[in-house]
Each structure stands twice: as C-alpha cells, then as structure tokens.
Structure 1
Amino acid sequence: MHVAQPGVSAQIRRLERELGQELLDRSGRSVRLTEVGAAVLPYARAALAAVAGARLAVDELTGLVRGHVAVGTVTSHNVDLPALLAAFHEDHPAVEITLAEDNSDHLIDALRGGRLDAAIIALGATPPPGLEIHIVADESIAAAVSHRDDLARTYLI
C-alpha cells in the first residue's frame, strides 16, 4: 500500500470520528481492536479488496501490468542485467523488481521453492530438471594451466 504509519493512523482516526466509535484500544504499549473494530474489520478488508479489484479491472483495460518479480543471478556472467532490468521496468513500470545474488544451486532451489520467478544461472551439461531453460548467453570458459601440469594434456576438464 506504500502508506507511512502516521498516514494510516490519521485515516483510522478519521474513520473513528465518522463512526463515532473507537476502533482500536491504544492503552499501554500495545494496540488492539475494540469490539467495534473487530466488527468493522471484515468490511474494511472487503473495501480494500474491492479497490484492488477495480484497479485490476482498469489495468486490464489499459494493458498495465502490476505486481512483483523476483530475479536471481550468479555473480559472474556476461548478461547486461542492469540494461535488461531497466528495459523491463520501462515496459512495466508498475512491477516491482527484487534482485538476489547467489550461486546457481541456491538459485535453482529458490526457483523450485517459489522464492524466485527467474534466475540467471550457470548451466552445466545437463539442465536442471523441472525448470524451463532459455539460453541467454553462451560463453566459453577456459582453464589456464602450466604446460608441465597433467591437465595440460587434457582437452576438456
């Protein structure tokens, strides 16, 4: 909702004045719903849901996409992620983007667990099962070893 606490308090007090009843018991350090507040709560939730529904209906008509996308990435890759995310944000300004950085195994676990929506990962010879994979960059990685090392006689490591 992106509303600061003082703004929420002012709105609640305004509603209390309009109803002529206290909705919250503000005694001591805790704040609890009064009996009237508990009776009003389902209607307040329904009103918020109605506003969200109205916003969704307007967004569908205007083509605006809202929401949140969680993206994970490995530390080292040749994808221009800032440019990619900036382009996405330009196309979808109402979508909040969060970025997580970790190793590929943890990112894959986060994808499977629903904590990430997409991830830039390092891909081995066998793609991880259960995920839709799209190659966005193909890079060669070389190992440099001394010509005297046993690995120097091996083409693939």
Structure 2
Amino acid sequence: MELHQLRYVVAVAEEGSFTAAAQRELVAQPAVSAAVRSLERELGVQLFRRGRSGAQPTEAGVAVLAHARAALAAVAAARDVADEVTGLLRGRVAVGMVVGCTSTVLADLLADFSTAHPAVEVVLVEGSGADLLAALSTGRLDLAWVGRAQPPPSGVETAVLHEEEQVAVVPVAGPPRGRSLAVAELASHRLVALPRGTGGRTALDAACAAAGVAPVVACEATGLEMVCLLAERGLGTGVVPASVAAAAADRLRALPLDPPVTSRIELAWRTGGPSSPAGAALLAVARRHVEAARKR
C-alpha cells in the first residue's frame, strides 16, 4: 500500500469520478484507475461502484476512505513538524479562480507567495463562483477568487480584491450608438458576455434585475478576448471591463453603462483559515494584498 494510492482513493470519492480525480491530481486517468484497482486487489474488496454516472464508494470503500484520510493527514502533520524544525515551508495549496478573471492582483499575490515559499506547490482551479465557494466550504480549496451576487455560505469570509467598471462594446465600424447605454436598454440588445458566476456577469445580471429587465445573452464566452472578438464580428453587444475595452479601442467602441455597473472580485476563505501551514501562509500574503488594494 502506497500513499499515492490512498490519495487517489480520496480524490475519486470527493470528485465522484476517476476522470475528475485524475484532473485534480494532475495525472493521467489510467494511472488513477490502475492504482485503485491494485489497492482493491491488495485489500481483497471493491472500493468503488463504477458506472456511467461516475464512481461511488462501496460500504468497504467508505470504511477505507476514513482511514485513508487519517493516514494522509498523519503524513502531512509529520512533514509539518519536520518543516517547523528546519524552518522550511512545504506542501501544496489549492487556489480557485473564477472563469474570465483578468485581475493582475491574483498573479502578483501568487508571485509574492512563491518567492517567499518556493517549496510550496500552487494548484490553480478555474470554475464558477458557486462551484468555487462549495469547494472552499468542503476544504478542497484553500482560497478562492470569486464574483458573487449573494452572501457567502456559512463558514466562509470574503474581502474585495478588485473592482472595475463594466462597459458595453460595439464595432468601431458600426453605426453610431450615442455616448452611453442605459442598463434598461440592454433588454433590446443581443449580448455577448462571460458565463454566470463570473464577476462581470454577476454585476451585469444584478444591474439588469435592478432596472427591471432581463438580459438576452446570445453568446457566452469564458475569455474576455473572445467576448471582444464576437462583439467585433457583430454577434452582439459585448460587456467587458473598461480596461479590456480600452485595449481594444482600435476595433471596438466603448459605451459606458448608465447607471454605472461595477464588477467585484473577492478573496474568499474558510472562517478560521486553511488548516495547513502552507494554506495559512498563503492567506497571510493574500490579506496583505487586500490591505494594499484598500489603500489605493
């Protein structure tokens, strides 16, 4: 029995499939399957029921899972104790990032952390705000950068990291459309926007709801450059951060929204902070960046 086998068992149980577990562990899916099968043969029991809907732990799997988690926690604790003696911080931190995030704050923060703690592995996971908050609540993530419209779930705290005005963009070669665009008028436009759960889309949906209109999103794109490309080609009116519109001013005309629509990216963490020393160190660096952002 080897530690990577136990780690894969925990990953399959938490992710619900061998494919998702492999993505989380950054290995090929056959490697996860082979390791779990080898452990099943060694123990003489089936650990998972495999089907089209994924993988679910058997009764034996549930029992083994508890001991696998305990063993992994014990190994991590032993490493932490050794690191405290040597003064070296090691380990792994998992950071969630909302799809479409272009803020340099996150990149700067992770760069500062990696410079201070080069032996810590940093894993970035993209997803919607709701998915990231759920993963944070269950301990699968140490920190998350999210855009949200609703209060965070119980046990999660947040702080604003980045704010930026959103603007509508249309082709430069298109007909004149005035100097601004009322949010209420968006109901008559085919829109190109980021997916739900991103900071920009959350701000757009909230502004439209406040204006009493429902936006018609004709195209969703996970990248802001693709939003610009689709808007440039006439597939709809794009909604992007003002800085992105400014960078594309040679091909897109920016129309400020009235009233202004501001998106927010927030740092989220579990109340009490991450359980690992590496996660706690990352949160400490993140809080310094939050304070610096507030002073700007």
TM-score grouping bracket, smaller chain normalisation: 0.5 to 0.7
User: Per chain length, whose mean CA-contact separation is higher, i.e. which structure has more relative contact order (CA < 8 Å, sep 6+)?
Assistant: 2
| Compared CA separation, residues 65 and 150, structure 1 to 2 (3 A) | closer
* d(CA) in 2 for partners of 1:110, 1:57: 27
Q: How does 1:23-42 map to 2 (within 5 A)?
A: none
Alignment partner, residue 60 of structure 1: 84
* 2:132 corresponds to 1:132: no
| Compared CA separation, residues 106 and 150, structure 1 to 2 (3 A) | closer
Alignment partner, residue 151 of structure 1: 184
* d(CA) in 2 for partners of 1:69, 1:140: 31
Q: C-alpha displacement at 1:99, in angstroms?
A: 0.6
**Which structure 2 segments of 5+ residues have no match?**
3-37, 44-73, 171-176, 187-210, 212-257, 262-296
* 2:98 corresponds to 1:74: yes
Percentage of pairs with the same residue = 40
User: Which protein is bigger by CA-based radius of gyration?
Assistant: 1
* TM-score normalised by L of structure 1: 0.54
| Compared CA separation, residues 75 and 63, structure 1 to 2 (3 A) | same
State whether residues 73 and 121 of structure 1, in contact with CA within 8 Å, keep that contact through their aligned partners in structure 2. yes
Relative to structure 2, which stretch is displaced further, 142-151 or 58-67?
142-151
Q: C-alpha displacement at 1:75, in angstroms?
A: 2.4
Count of residues paired in the alignment? 114
Comparing both structures, which one devotes a greater share of its residues to helix? 2
Q: C-alpha displacement at 1:110, in angstroms?
A: 1.0
* d(CA) in 2 for partners of 1:84, 1:121: 15
Q: For 1:101-139, what per-residue CA distance to the aligned partner results, in whole angstroms no more than 9, with x for missing partners? A: 111111111111211111111132x43132110211122
| Compared CA separation, residues 66 and 75, structure 1 to 2 (3 A) | same
Q: 1:108 aligns with which of 130, 133, 141?
A: 133
Comparing both structures, which one devotes a greater share of its residues to strand? 2
* d(CA) in 1 for partners of 2:132, 2:100: 14
Q: 1:85 aligns with which of 105, 110, 114?
A: 110
RMSD: 3.8
